């Protein structure tokens, strides 16, 4: 696994009342959700980045009201014409 150092303000743990491990987990999840939402990674890859199985990742998406399925209107139109 690749390790990427992230510089945060010295008091971030105290401000958030979270341990460094909790903040690391939060950052991984936030990055995974953002990259999934922007279509840069699949659900499976995003769950891996977040460090969790796919089902709990989907639960996290649902809790944040983020669409689990991406629908491209043009692609949907093309597919419906083929049927």
Domain ranges of the chain: 16-82
List the one residue out of 71, 41, 49, 46 whose CA is nearest residue 2: 49
pLDDT score recorded for residue 67 = 84
Cβ proximity of 35 and 49 under 8 Å: yes
What pLDDT sits at residue 14?
A: 95
Is the pTM higher than 0.85? The answer reads no
> pLDDT tens-digit profile of 30-69?
999 999 999 899 999 999 999 999 999 999 999 999 888 7
Question: Is pLDDT larger for residue 15 or for residue 74?
Answer: 15
């Amino acid at each position: 696994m690749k390790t990427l150092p992230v510089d945060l303000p010295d008091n971030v743990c105290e401000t958030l009342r979270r341990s460094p491990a909790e903040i690391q987990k939060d950052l991984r999840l936030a990055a995974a959700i953002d990259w999934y939402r922007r279509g840069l990674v699949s659900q499976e890859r995003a769950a891996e980045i977040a460090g969790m199985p796919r089902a709990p990742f989907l639960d996290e998406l649902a809790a944040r009201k983020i669409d689990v399925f991406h629908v491209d209107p043009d692609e949907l139109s093309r597919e419906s014409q083929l049927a």
